[in-house]
């Protein structure tokens, strides 16, 4: 029979905070912690299981036998079981065997607060602590400046399992990515990376969006310390790190959070509020204080322990609405008769309040696909408090427009201009994400019409248009060099395509766009303000041409952009400008180095002829399926 020494890391104040749902550092208390008690080294275990009759720690140190190491329930009604087990330390593998009062049933669960997990398909938790020595103090010191809403955000979205593989089979490790991925992102000029979920998950085809180990970086690529190294190296190279975070749902896997202690502990007990039919997963009970504390503690954990710079919150729309993807009769209105999930809304506000209060220079970004008002407005102004929101409408309308053969685009000009009617209602991030290159949608390149030349020209135009549209930018890996096939999570990106000039040209262009975006304040200083954008002419339907201005704080840095959405060259195209001076072409997507035809602008003279409501005008060449930027 093993021994469990009574011990607690909880003060009465901790317990009161926990019960009130206001303890946002639960990872310091719950889970497994290597400590010393009365001169003995071992591990303190603590787990929340309020309906349990008994809880035992089972593991490789007691032959997985229930009862050898029984935890003690606290006397204060918190539902926390705890105790110190001597001689259990780093790397020990364990689970909780929970005997419930409900139905006299037993469950064997991974630790919800485990900082490390076994490599899937194994499902146990691992005792883990590290004393990683961070070397990113410079970044953390000036991050607030780098990460502000008036700074450039050119985000490279990455699925770590398929960015690049060894021998087309083996994953790169966190350590290898700290060299290869960091060097690539830096060379390409992206300001941030966004990792699709890296928290432990059991099922590869879920891409990480069905989490079971909320506090553990997946062991597929290495240890928690090695993931810290990857983040650290990004920071040392001035690259911010955003993590996809999934507080919206979790899988029903037997070792996970579902029916944890024989009761609906983490999930809402009402299936109309607690089960996602689309994803066959469970929904958190946002109205339960301890669950709110679990989720907010988890968000804080990644910002605190892993120095991450932002959280992109997945599937926010599914949290906000009680009738999300439900038919009549499958949901019930809130107390006011509406379809809003009031508990989830309160949780989101509390989350954002805590994150922005406790961490300087971080951002939360909502993946939210509806017109819910004020997603990225401050809470004190009636908003949800996110820093940014994905602009799903822009993404959908833009790709719909580009799908049209150029000859028909003149009939669909509204699709490409409509976004400007609501572009400043939120702080929008423009996403061409992984969701747009799967499930038969094809790659961005092959969503473009025309022959090969036109496909590549359209893709270059699409990306140039994204970078000059108000808002921040996100591009899924592979699009930056014109990946031709759909994304497949099981295989590496098609890096071999870079032996071809057309793909190399797209890659060079994205690199140049990133550097232009970072170098010209007109593209970012007022990216969320109507003062930062002005149409020159959006009405030239017949030629499918758009012209507009991007503005920063200093008028002399204004940029003038012209897009030609047809393969017909527009020579001596007349556009109005507000002032005299030198006009210089700083970018042309038709440059031969990008794979274009080389229709460039050399000398541009300003005329005193008024045009487009402006006092003066210039005549420029706009290449076929091209975008040009002038300063």
**Tens-digit pLDDT profile for residues 524-544:** 999 999 999 999 999 999 999
* Active-site entry in 290, 367, 426, 512: 367
Strand partners, 32: 45
Q: Cα–chain-centroid distance for residue 158?
A: 10
CB distance 111 to 47 below 8 Å: yes
What's the confidence (pLDDT) of residue 76? 95
Instruction: Quickly list H helices, 418-485.
Output: 452-468
Q: Quick check: is 367 catalytic? A: yes
End-to-end CA distance of the chain: 78
Q: Give CA–CA dist 434/395, Å, rounded.
A: 12
Q: Give CA–CA dist 256/413, Å, rounded.
A: 49
Q: Give CA–CA dist 146/137, Å, rounded.
A: 14
* Active-site entry in 232, 261, 314, 354: 314
Average pLDDT over residues 537-558: 94
The three-class DSSP label of residue 560 is: strand
CB distance 155 to 242 below 8 Å: yes
Percent of the chain with pLDDT over 90: 94
Q: Cα–chain-centroid distance for residue 503?
A: 26
* CA distances (Å), origin 391, targets 396, 458, 473: 9, 21, 10
Q: Number of C-alpha atoms within 13 angstroms, CB side, residue 299?
A: 32
**Tens-digit pLDDT profile for residues 161-189:** 999 999 878 999 999 999 999 999 999 99
Tell me the average pLDDT of the chain.
96
**Tens-digit pLDDT profile for residues 205-247:** 999 999 999 999 999 999 999 999 999 999 999 999 999 999 9
Nearest to 428 by CA among 382, 465, 476, 395: 395
What's the confidence (pLDDT) of residue 556? 86
- CATH no. for 12-126: 2.60.40.10
**Tens-digit pLDDT profile for residues 81-129:** 999 999 999 999 999 999 998 878 899 999 999 999 999 999 999 999 9
**Tens-digit pLDDT profile for residues 388-438:** 999 999 999 999 999 999 999 999 999 999 999 999 999 999 999 999 999
**Tens-digit pLDDT profile for residues 249-279:** 999 999 999 999 999 999 999 999 999 988 8
Give ∠ CA 184-187-190 in degrees, rounded to 5.
85
Average pLDDT over residues 48-73: 95
Q: Give CA–CA dist 177/167, Å, rounded.
A: 15
Q: Give CA–CA dist 45/74, Å, rounded.
A: 13
Q: Quick check: is 368 catalytic? A: no
What's the confidence (pLDDT) of residue 1? 45
CB distance 171 to 180 below 8 Å: no
């Amino acid at each position: 029979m093993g021994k469990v020494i009574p011990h607690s890391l909880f003060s009465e104040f901790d317990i009161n905070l926990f019960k009130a749902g206001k303890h946002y550092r639960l990872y310091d208390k719950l889970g497994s912690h290597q400590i010393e008690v009365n001169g003995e080294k071992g591990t303190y275990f603590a787990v929340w299981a309020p309906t349990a009759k008994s809880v035992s720690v089972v593991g490789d140190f007691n032959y997985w036998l229930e009862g050898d190491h029984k935890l003690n329930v606290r006397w204060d009604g918190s539902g926390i079981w705890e105790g110190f087990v001597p001689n259990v330390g780093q790397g020990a593998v364990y689970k909780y065997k929970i005997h419930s009062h409900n139905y006299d049933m037993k469950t064997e669960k991974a630790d919800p607060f485990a900082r490390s997990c076994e490599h899937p398909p194994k499902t146990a938790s691992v005792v883990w602590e590290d004393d990683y020595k961070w070397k990113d103090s410079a970044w953390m010191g000036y991050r607030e400046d780098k990460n502000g809403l008036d700074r450039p955000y050119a985000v490279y979205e990455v699925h770590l399992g398929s960015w690049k593989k060894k021998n087309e089979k083996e994953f790169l490790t966190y350590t290898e990515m700290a060299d290869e991925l960091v060097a690539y992102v830096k060379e390409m000029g992206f300001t941030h990376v966004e990792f699709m979920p890296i928290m432990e998950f059991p099922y590869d085809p879920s891409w990480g969006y069905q989490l079971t180990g909320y506090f553990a970086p997946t062991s597929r690529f290495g240890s928690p310390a090695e993931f810290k190294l990857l983040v650290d190296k990004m920071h040392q190279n001035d690259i911010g790190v955003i993590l996809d975070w999934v507080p919206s749902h979790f899988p029903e896997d037997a070792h996970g959070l579902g029916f944890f202690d024989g009761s609906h502990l983490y999930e809402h007990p009402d299936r109309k509020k607690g089960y996602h039919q689309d994803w066959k997963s469970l929904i958190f009970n946002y109205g339960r204080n301890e669950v709110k504390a679990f989720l907010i503690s988890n968000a804080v954990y990644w910002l605190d322990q892993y120095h991450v710079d932002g959280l992109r919150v997945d599937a926010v729309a599914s949290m906000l609405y009680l009738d999300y993807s439900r038919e009549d009769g499958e949901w019930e209105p809130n107390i006011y008769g509406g379809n809003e999930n009031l508990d989830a809304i309160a949780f989101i506000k509390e989350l954002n309040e805590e994150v922005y209060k406790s961490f300087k220079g971080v951002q939360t970004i909502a993946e939210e696909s509806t017109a819910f008002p004020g997603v990225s407005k401050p809470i004190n102004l009636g908003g949800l408090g996110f820093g940014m929101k994905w602009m799903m409408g822009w993404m959908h309308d833009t790709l719909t427009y580009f799908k049209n053969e150029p000859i028909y685009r003149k009939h669909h000009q509204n699709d490409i201009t409509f976004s400007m009617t609501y572009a400043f209602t939120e702080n929008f991030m423009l996403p061409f994400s992984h969701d747009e290159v799967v499930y038969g949608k094809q790659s961005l390149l092959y969503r473009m019409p025309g022959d090969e030349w036109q496909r590549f020209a359209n893709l270059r135009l699409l990306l140039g248009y994204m970078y000059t549209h108000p808002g921040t930018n996100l591009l899924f890996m592979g699009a930056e060099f014109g990946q031709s096939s759909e994304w497949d999570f099981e295989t590496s990106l098609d890096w071999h395509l870079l032996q071809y000039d057309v793909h190399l040209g797209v890659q060079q262009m994205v690199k140049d766009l990133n550097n232009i975006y970072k170098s010209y304040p007109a593209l970012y200083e007022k990216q969320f303000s109507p003062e930062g954008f002005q149409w020159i002419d959006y009405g030239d339907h017949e030629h499918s041409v758009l012209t507009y201005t991007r503005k920063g704080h200093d008028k002399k840095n204004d940029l003038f952009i012209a897009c030609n959405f047809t393969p017909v060259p527009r020579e001596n195209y007349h556009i109005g400008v507000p002032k005299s001076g030198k006009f210089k072409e700083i970018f042309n997507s038709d440059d031969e180095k990008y794979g274009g035809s080389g229709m460039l602008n050399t000398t541009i003279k300003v005329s005193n002829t008024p045009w487009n409501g402006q006092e003066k005008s210039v005549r420029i060449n706009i290449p076929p399926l091209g975008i040009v930027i002038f300063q």
